[in-house]
Each structure stands twice: as C-alpha cells, then as structure tokens.
Structure 1
Amino acid sequence: MKRKVVHLTTTHARNEVRVFLKECTSLSVAGYDVYLIVADGLGPDTTSSGVHRLDIGKQSGRIQRMLIQPWRMLRAAFKIRADVYHLHEPELLLIALPLKWSGAKVVYDSHEDTPRAILSRDWINPFLRKLVSSTFELFENFVTCRISAVVGATPHISLRFSKINKQTVTVNNYPLQSELPDFEIPLRINRSLCYIGSISKSRGVFEMINAVDPLDAQLILAGWFESEQVELNAKKLNGWSKIDYRGTVNRSEVHEIMSRSSIGLVIFHPEPNHVNAQPNKLFEYMSARLPIIASDFPLWREVIEGNDCGICVNPMNPSAISEAINLLLTNPERVKKFGDNGYRAVQEKYNWGIEEQKLLTLYNELTK
C-alpha cells in the first residue's frame, strides 16, 4: 500500500515551485500518495501531477494567518491520516507536536533563517524585533528537536538545525532539469534586464530602479510588492519610466521574461537573512543562460565568480550597479560567456535532480 504524505502550506501558491513542482511532484513520481493542503482560497480541491490538492480557504490579515490557519490545517490534516506530515511555514510549528502525537512522522521544511529574517521585518516594531527573534528561536528549537526531521533550503539553515536534530538534511532549491533550455542561445543584443520575485526595499527595488535610470535600458520587474507604500515610493522615482512592471506572473511568463532579457538582477541588501541565503532566482537565471549582477556577499561571490557567470557589486550603491549593467550591455560576448558558464554549472551541480535524491532518501528512512 502506498505511504500517505501530506505537505502543508499557509502562504505558498498551490503551484509554487519548491513545494509543489519539486517536492510534492517528486514524491508522487516515487510512488507516494501525496496530498498538498493550501490556503489560497482558490478551491475547489483538485489533483495535478498525481498530487491531491486541498484548499482550507484564505484568511485575511497576517495575525489571523499565523494564529488561526495552523489549527484549520491541523483539522484538515487529521482527516487524511498520513504517515508523514511536511510543514512549510514557521507558524505551522504550532501544530507539529499534535501531528507527531497522532503517530505520524513530522518534517519541518525551513525555507529561510526565520529568527534572522525577523530582524528585518518592517511590520514588527524595531524596538521589539530582537525580542521577537530570540523568543521565536527558542520556540523553533524546542519544537524541531522533538520532531522526526528538518529540511533546510540552504547549508547555512541546515547547519543550525543539525545541532538540535540529527535527522537534518539540506535540499537546495535548485532549478528543475526539465526547464533547462536544450538549445544554444545566440548573442543577446537587447537592452532589457529583469528581476523576478518578491519586490521590497530590502530586496533592492529602489537601488535597481535608480541604477537603470541613467541608462539606455529597460528593467522588467515581475512579482508582488511587499506593501502599497513600497510600490507607491518606487513609482515616484525618475527611473520608473524605464520599468516594465508585469505584476505577478506564472511559470510560462517567467520563462518568456528571461528569454527577452540580457541580464538577471539579484540586488538584496546585506541583512542577516540574506547574506547566507541562496535565492532560487539566482539559479533560475543561470539555467536560462542569463549573466547575473548580484550582491557582493561571500556565498554569492563563491557561486557567481567561482563559476564565472556574472558580476558581484555593492548592493547599496546604484552607481556601481549601473556600471556593471552598462559593462555587460556593451559587451554581448561577455554576456554570452557568463550565460553559458552559468548554464553549464546548473547542468553539472545546481539542479533539482541531485536535490531530489536527498529528499527521497530522507523519506525512505522515515517510512521504512
């Protein structure tokens, strides 16, 4: 009989890349009976790629999502009676132990270093952030040392959890091999660059807009603004006239944007949760043969300069970003070289095929 697996997420879309396209789909193909409980309010319940998707409905407001949705998730999860429950948000740790007490295995998938991320959350009073961060870390450690396993999205995240849970594994968020282009891309001669993802002050939206302002270039911006105020302030900048804003886009639109661009940008601010992160967009740009201009963090420099696939810059300096953009736009041969090198690195080491095996090995251990 197939082992039942339930993945739970309160914030991710039902088609989200890591949760659905990678982890859930890989487990389904491997023979598990996979359920994905979401809270996007899009219903009805569906089955896609062998994964049964259930919607508990959307809650308005951050506090309601954090304090009410986990318990609604718990009720839906108990109805399935799974062998393994896999949690994708920090607030779902509230229900981790009740799920464990049901006799099931429980896995926490830590997508980011949440205690450090809290230190830069604008919606938390600056005077309270350290207290909230340290309190949450105590809670997170208390729960995760008592559950079956922890999955870290980066080696940095896994290192912290490995000290309190021996069954900790790194499953990097690398690109799907099925999405790698299997054809040679000629010299890119257009003057478009792109940023795809969550749009916020800390992810460099103002620096990117200011950097493109003096250039004969266009920045394709795709994703959701973290707040109405950030969007309003961004649109007030002179450089907004150089922006092609697409809003939230689907996977096919992501590929269309990258195919139309000559450069991919990842200009995150040097905040505690960023310097050791491995943004999925970094590797997606590489998989699309796009050269990268990214923040000059040691870990990112190791990937980008180590594979000779882009340029690292001071993310707080729009002039330095602008110079790097201009350097590439005026040198198509270097753009092609960087793009080909990045693509080769994804083929050889930064791909989901390698990470998938780590996930399946963990599940084999949990369900044997």
Structure 2
Amino acid sequence: MMSKNVCMFVWNNFTNDARVLRECTALSEEGYKVDLICIHDPNDQTMKFEENRAGNFNVYRVRRYPILFTILQTYYRFCLRYKLVGVITFIIWMLTACFLPLVILPLTLLGLLILKTKVKTVFIRGSIISRMIMKGSKKKYDLYHSNDLNTLPQGFICSKWRLNKKPLIYDSHEVQTSRTGYDSPIYGMMERFFIKRIDSMIVENHTRAKYNEDLYGFYPDVVHNYPFKQTAISNETVNLHKILQLPTDEKILLYQGGIQAGRGLKQLIQAVPKFKEGTLVLIGDGRIKADLVKMVKEMSLQEKVRFIAKVPLNELSKYTINAYLAFQVLNNTNFNHYSASSNKLFEYMMAGVPVVACDFPEIKRVIEGENTGICIDSHNPSAIADAVNRLLEDRKLRNQLSENSIKASEIYNWDREKELFMNVYTKRFSSYFKAIETTISN
C-alpha cells in the first residue's frame, strides 16, 4: 500500500484557524499523515515549535525571526534603554569588527539597516519562507497543500523543484486579487504565474469559483467554510453576563471575529445609540481595536459596548451561545468581502443565534433561504439599528429564527462538507498513483 503523506503550509500561528484545523483533522481521520508547517509567535511563551494534534496530524512552527535578527534587535533595544552603555558597547563592537571586517562589519551594517528601514519586513518574510521551504523539503511527501497566496511559493518550490514532481493543491481562503491589504498588482501577477503550475484549486463558494473561472479560465473545486457540527450543552457555556458584570436579563448583541477594517464595526458602533436595549459585545482582536475603543469612549458608550480579547477557537462556541442576536456586517470594500460566506455566520447558526447581516449574495442566500436572520445595508447604521430593534421587540420572531438556525445547522456543517474536501484528495491521489504505476510499468 502506498503512503499518503501530506505537507500543508499556512501563514499564521495555527491557533485560531478553523478551516485549516478542519481540513487537517479530516485528512488525519482518513489515514493521511499530515504535517502542518506554520509560524511560531515569539511573544507567546506557551506556544510549542512542535506538537502532535492527533496520531497522524503534527504541527511544526518555524521561527519568525532569524537568530541574528533577534540578537541585533535585543542589542538595539538595549542601546535605546541604556544610551551611554549602548554607545560604548557599539564602539567596542566596531573596533572588534576591524579584525574581522569581512564577516562582522557587514553583518552589523546589514542588521542596523534591517532594524531601521522597510527592508525589515521583506527580510523577515523572506526568512520565514526560506525556513518553511527547508522544513517542507526534509521529508518525503506525496502531496503539498498551500493555504492562500502567501504560502503558494513554498508549496510550488517544494513540490515542483525536484526530479519527481509532486501534486500541489492551492486552497484559496480569500480572493487574492481583490482583498484588504492586497492592493498591489504584484499579487495578481504572482497568482497568475503560480496558478498555471498547480494541480488543484479549492475556493470557499461558487461566487468565488465563477470569479476564478472568469479570471483564469477554469472552475475550481468548492469547499464551503462550514464549522464542525456542535451540540450546545448548557453546563459547557461561559457566563458572559457574569464576566462583564451585566444583569442576567441584559440582552447580549454579539460580534465575534477579527477587529479589522471593512468589517462594518464602525457602523455597528454608530448604530448602538439607536438600540432600544442590549449591550454590544465584541470578541476578538485586530488592527483597529484601539480606534474602536477610542470611538466608544468619545461617544460615551462604555456602558453599552464591551470588548473581550480573542478566545481560543475550541472555546468560542461557549461564548457564542450567550447571545440574543449576532452580527456579520461586512462592508463592500472589495470583491473578497462581497463574495464572502464567512465562517462566523455558521458558528452563529450552530449556537442557534439569529443574525443581522449584510445583504451580499452568498450570505443572503443562506440567511433568507433558511430564514435565520435579517439582511440589511451594512453601510447604514440606521438600517442596522432597525433590524436589531425589530428582533428586540418581537421575541416570537427572534425565537423562530433561532429554531430555524438550529435546523439549518444540520445542513451547513463540516460533517457533510468534508466529503467534498476528501473528494479533492481522492481524485488527486488517484491521478498521482496512476501516473506512478504507468511510469513503473513502462
């Protein structure tokens, strides 16, 4: 029997990546041996460089910073804190470098340049990619799997720069050519180059698959972003009312996920003064969180808006179930947002929590098709408030939407969707092994 060893790459710490967790778990359960290569967080003292998630599923984290960079960064901070001592140490170092000018001096100058300019970002990312490639080349894998564009070069080099080329699956969780932070045309050029050299592509929904077909001429496999099927058990919930010191009858209006631009969170906070009751609770972290906290303070909404830091993925559902209703109010800032079907939408559904959501095609198809919430213009705070107040005033409607959500969770869950995911692997491995057998027979 031939082996089924898979090397998967993802550009994060793999602490809250629900989709990658589901995929790796599904593969492991079906007898594939999966090594996931991701990035270590030096600020998290509890994070391991290696861990075994299941018998066939191992996680390997590469260093974020090169050792030399870490030394130079520590020294730079030391100099800033102890200016006089730092200057003396620097002079001694430079005098010592005179005896080894071909090694120490260039490294010193390069280190200072890296610490002080934009070269730092390029240098760090390049070194991470290099370490991922080295890690992915150490073992004999039968297939490589790259999650998103930022790991596609790693997968391409490991799978194709070799005598015996291996299959490469490109799993695009986002629309790489139209998403926040990806404005440079270089991303589109990169994807167009690599996409001609992959063996399979996976996207999140059919809207994005059609977009890909229009752009590149082929229709990729679709694997929706549905969560694991869950059964809410009351004694496994986290008491948010107690944590936030809210009255037990206070209605929690929940947003969970990244606190990032384009998520409609500013409009959501602007809508809060118009809510007839309830407390808005935002669970998560992100780049604009400090701006939102400031905004809440300026609007004197500290009693009506509460923030909770990101919680572990396996704990999140225990928080979600506390909500009276929840939000998914993306803004139409790019096609990535417009075409999203969003994991959190289905997490709310699993918990039986009705949703107030943007009226984008994939989200609207689910919500109105299953009658699990209200779709609104997410750019309009008044429209958000009207939907919230409707659910606050009509408890019967809210409960009906909650019941519909629980019923819909029987359809929109990973237990069903993983069959489509495994079909991609079965098809790809079947083609791969057939090619090997043909080569051997010839």
TM-score (ref. length: structure 2): 0.74
1:252 CA drift (Å): 4.6
Q: Given the alignment, which residue of 358, 363, 369 partners 1:295?
A: 358
Q: Does structure 2 retain, via aligned residues, the 8 Å contact 1:145–1:165?
A: no
1:106 CA drift (Å): 0.9
| Aligned pairs (5 A) from 1:1-368 | 1-14=2-15, 16-20=17-21, 22-41=22-41, 42-50=47-55, 51-59=57-65, 63-64=122-123, 66-101=125-160, 102=162, 103-117=165-179, 120-121=180-181, 129=183, 132=184, 134-162=185-213, 164=216, 168-177=220-229, 179-181=230-232, 190-215=250-275, 216-227=277-288, 230-238=291-299, 239-272=301-334, 273-348=336-411, 350-368=412-430
The verdict on how the C-alpha distance between 1:252 and 1:96 changes in structure 2, with shifts beyond 3 A counting, is: closer
Q: 2-side partners of 1:141 and 1:180: how far apart?
A: 42
The verdict on how the C-alpha distance between 1:52 and 1:319 changes in structure 2, with shifts beyond 3 A counting, is: same
SS state at 1:195 partner = strand
Q: 1-side partners of 2:122 and 2:354: how far apart?
A: 40
1:321-343 Cα distance to aligned partner (Å, 9 max, x none): 11211111222221111111122
Q: Does structure 2 retain, via aligned residues, the 8 Å contact 1:5–1:83?
A: yes
Indicate the structure (1 or 2) with the bigger Cα radius of gyration: 2
Q: 2-side partners of 1:64 and 1:255: how far apart?
A: 38
Which shifted more, 322-331 or 165-174? Answer: 165-174
1:70-121 Cα distance to aligned partner (Å, 9 max, x none): 221111000122111111131222233322323221111100101110xx43
Q: 2-side partners of 1:208 and 1:258: how far apart?
A: 18
1:54 corresponds to which letter in structure 2? Y
TM-score (ref. length: structure 1): 0.87
Q: Does structure 2 retain, via aligned residues, the 8 Å contact 1:190–1:262?
A: no
The verdict on how the C-alpha distance between 1:217 and 1:15 changes in structure 2, with shifts beyond 3 A counting, is: closer
SS state at 1:68 partner = helix
1:197 corresponds to which letter in structure 2? G
Q: 2-side partners of 1:301 and 1:65: how far apart?
A: 40
The verdict on how the C-alpha distance between 1:267 and 1:240 changes in structure 2, with shifts beyond 3 A counting, is: farther
1:79 corresponds to which letter in structure 2? K
SS state at 1:306 partner = helix
2:201 corresponds to which letter in structure 1? V
Which shifted more, 87-96 or 272-281? Answer: 87-96
Alignment size in residue pairs: 350
Q: 2-side partners of 1:159 and 1:66: how far apart?
A: 31
2:361 corresponds to which letter in structure 1? P
Which shifted more, 94-103 or 283-292? Answer: 94-103
Q: 1-side partners of 2:294 and 2:310: how far apart?
A: 19
Q: Does structure 2 retain, via aligned residues, the 8 Å contact 1:96–1:143?
A: no
SS state at 2:259 partner = coil
SS state at 2:178 partner = helix
The verdict on how the C-alpha distance between 1:89 and 1:70 changes in structure 2, with shifts beyond 3 A counting, is: farther
Identity value in percent:
26
SS state at 1:54 partner = strand
